[in-house]
Structures are given as C-alpha cells and as structure tokens.
Amino acid sequence: MIQNWKEKYAKIMKDFEGYSIGKIFKYLGNPEIISLAGGLPSPDMFLKSEMRKASHKLLENDLENIFQYSPVPGEDDFIAAILKFLQRDGIKLEPENILITSSGQHGLDLTGRLFLDPEDYIMIDRPTFAGAIVAFQMQHPQIIGVDMEADGSNVDGYRAKLAKLPVKPKFIYVVPDFQNPSGITTSLEKREALLDLSYEMDIPLVEDSPYRDLRYRGEAIPSLFSLDQQREGTNVIGLYTFSKIFSPGIRVGFNIGPPDVITKMGNIKGGNTLNTPKYNQDMCRIFLTEMNYDSHMEKCRKYYSKKLDTFLEAMSEYFPPETGVSWTKPEGGLFLWVSLPKKIDTLKLFQKAIEYKVAFVPGEVFYGENPENNHLRINFSYVSAEQLVEAVKRLSKCVKEDLREQ
C-alpha cells in the first residue's frame, strides 16, 4: 500500500498550492456575509430567455453532433464569427490565427505550457491577475514583477529590471484594459512603449483582454494586438474569454497569435482537454451573431457603471482623507484596488472583516514575488447597490477598529 503519495508527485508540483483566492471562499458560506471577493459577472446580465431559446434550438436540431467529439482547434462557424467580432476592434486575422480555448484560464495554461521551462523568467505587473500567476507557476518560472503606475504598466521599470536579468524573459504578461485586480487601464503611450520594448528586446507580449468591452467612461484605447498589427508586428498573443460578457459557466475563450504559436497551443490542447464542448461553442457563436451584442453590452455597461458609481460614492463618504485610505477609479471592468495605511495587513484584516460580515480579496495574492500587504481587491459587479453601500460601511468600521488596536 502506498504510504506517502507526496514523494510520488512531480518535483515541480510538490510545492504547488493551487489558486490562492480559492482558499478564502471557504469563509463565504454564511449568507450574511456580503462578498466583494469573487470576480463574478451579475446574473442580472445573463441573457436568460435568449439562452433558453438558443439552447432549445441546438438540442432540437443538432443533438447528435453536440454530444460527439469535435475538432480540437474549434468549430469553423464559431471561428468565423470571432474573426468578424475582432474586426470591429481593428484586428484582422485568418482562421489559423485562432484557437478556441475552454476559458481564459485555459488560455493562460496553454501559454505557460508552451513557453516556459522551469526557472525561465517571465515579467508581470505588480499587482496582476492571480489566476495568471497560478497558471504560470505550474511551470515553475522565476517571476519578476514591476510596480504598476496610475496609467498602467511601468515600461521604464520593465526596462530597468530587464537590464539586470541574466537572460531574457520568455514573455511579458499584461492586462491593459481595466486590469484585474487594480482596475487600471494602460495608456496609449505606454502600450506603444511596451511594443517598442518588445521589438527592441525580442520579447513576446501576452495581452489578456477579458474586460475590453466593459468600458463605462472615457475613450477606448486600441489593444496591444491591434497596435502591433498596425506596425506590422507579430509580437503579441491575445487571450480572450466569454466569461465576463456572456457566461463564466460556459467556459469558452480563445487565443490569437501567429499561426505557429496557435498550432502549437492546439497541439498542447489536444493533450490536455482535447476539444472544447461543441454545445458551449455554439452558444457563444449564437451570442455573437444572434443575441444583439451591441445592445447587450450597452445594458451591461449601464448596469455595472451604476454599481461602480454607487461604490465610489460610498467610499468617499465612509473613508474621508484623514483615514489614509485611497482607491483606484476605474473606467470599466469589474474591480478596483483599495490601498490602506501600511501598518494594516489585509490578510489579517480579512479575518476581522469576516466577523463584520464583509469579504474582499487580500491584495497579497496578486503579486508573483515580494507581496505588498496593505491592499485589497474589490469586486463591485455582483452584489446589489444596497449591499455595496452596506459593505463599505462594514469595511470602514472594521478598518477603523484595526487602526485603533494598533
């Protein structure tokens, strides 16, 4: 009988602890807790009757194909719909530039598997999406972070840290639009500068874009991918998901990039998940082509923008300047970033917040190395406007008590 499974594990998996955010969800079973911790889109924005109708039609007309295996790269008609969808955003591609994935997280996993050997370097923003960190950590890279600025990735900071690395990083990973967790959007100037750096140093850029169409104010800024195309480059790999604009439960996304990269990612997909379920792809195709995308997105933007305003107003009311608390003011997306006085450790504060029946994600999970401990991530899209205000009230009491105790 095997006594010690641990000694059987792969070396690179021995210390792997999985998704750090997942661990805090065990505290959230109590329905009295207002959770600003998840990254959930609101079910109010699900296209319920359209989804039922589309689902019924698919099951009536195509059941035998839906429940079969299907091609690993994705369904042709879905890929064609995505090509049109991307054209609206200034991106011109061919089918060989696209791989359908089973979610954004899967797209990140394929990226890590394709590029990283153990000990390879990658560069990321500080903070950045915890799910990307955990996906890349499966390959055991050395992660170099560069502190974000109010207008996005700190390109000079990247240059300075790059100069000190013994070898080039395999890629730089960024979320230029309404970044998770900070809500920060990278300016056009910095996007161009990131591309300059990428060309100069021959380093691929991985652009993760789940929130791009969720802009509530200000002008859209061209994606890195489209800017790269304008400059006739092929340095950017784009990661997309339907999770935040259609449904996270459907688990569908897509990666775009040079045909070589996409073919290779497809080969890896063949060895990890095989095909993305055809039913799920069909639902997303119908979402793009028959569910009035523009009016749906307009509705989402209005709905989330109102929640963001409610949250920001409550923050101004309950955290006056003398509290030393500051927060980002995103132009879109689902998250914002709150910075507390340095003496507050938000991991400890989290335990107290649970007693106050409010939850957030402690900021330290959003760093690949040397975490800062005095920040927290807020998701404003899921709970009601009334709950958002109540949550801020509870948070302010909890922070004040923590400060008094110090």
Give the residues lining the site for ligand PLP (CB under 6 A).
Answer: 39, 103-105, 129, 131, 175, 180, 208, 210, 241, 243, 248, 253
Query: What is the Cα–Cα distance from 189 to 156, expressed in whole angstroms?
Result: 12
For the CB of residue 252, give the shortest distance to ligand PLP in the complex, in Å. Answer: 8
For the CB of residue 61, give the shortest distance to ligand PLP in the complex, in Å. Answer: 27
Query: Which tokens go with 79?
Result: 């890929």
∠400-401-406 over CA atoms, to 5°?
100
Comparing CB distances to ligand PLP, the nearer of 248 and 259 is 248
- As a whole number of angstroms, the longest Cα–Cα distance in the chain is 65
Comparing CB distances to ligand PLP, the nearer of 103 and 339 is 103
The set of residues, in sequence order, having a beta carbon less than 8 Å from that of 231 and lying 6+ positions away, is: 195, 199
Place of tokens 């609101």: 42
Q: With the CA atoms of 22, 26, 29 and 33 taken in that order, what torsion angle do they form, in degrees rounded to the nearest 10?
A: -80
For the CB of residue 128, give the shortest distance to ligand PLP in the complex, in Å. Answer: 8
Comparing CB distances to ligand PLP, the nearer of 377 and 394 is 377
The alpha carbon dihedral of 209, 46, 43, 393 has a sign of positive
Q: Catalogue the long-range contacts made by 319-328 (C-beta closer than 8 Å, 24 or more residues apart).
A: 319/392, 319/396, 319/399, 323/396, 323/399, 323/400, 323/403, 325/399, 327/378, 328/150, 328/182, 328/183, 328/184
For the CB of residue 334, give the shortest distance to ligand PLP in the complex, in Å. Answer: 8
Query: What is the Cα–Cα distance from 91 to 228, expressed in whole angstroms?
Result: 10
For the CB of residue 245, give the shortest distance to ligand PLP in the complex, in Å. Answer: 10
Query: What is the Cα–Cα distance from 217 to 247, expressed in whole angstroms?
Result: 23
Comparing CB distances to ligand PLP, the nearer of 311 and 356 is 311
- Where are the strands (E) in 273-395, listed by range? 326-327, 335-339, 358-359, 361-362, 375-379
Comparing CB distances to ligand PLP, the nearer of 246 and 356 is 246
Comparing CB distances to ligand PLP, the nearer of 238 and 253 is 253
Determine the residue with CB nearest ligand PLP: 104
Place of tokens 């499974």: 5
With both helix axes pointing from N to C terminus, report the angle between 278-290 and 48-66 in degrees, rounded to the nearest 10. Answer: 140
For the CB of residue 291, give the shortest distance to ligand PLP in the complex, in Å. Answer: 18
Comparing CB distances to ligand PLP, the nearer of 169 and 253 is 253
The continuous run of DSSP H or E covering 78 comes out as helix 76-87
Query: What is the Cα–Cα distance from 298 to 245, expressed in whole angstroms?
Result: 11
Comparing CB distances to ligand PLP, the nearer of 197 and 250 is 250
For the CB of residue 333, give the shortest distance to ligand PLP in the complex, in Å. Answer: 8
What is the 3-class SS of 148-189, one letter each residue?
CECCECCHHHHHHHHHHCCCCCCCEEECCCCCCCCCCCCCHH
For the CB of residue 253, give the shortest distance to ligand PLP in the complex, in Å. Answer: 5
Comparing CB distances to ligand PLP, the nearer of 104 and 330 is 104
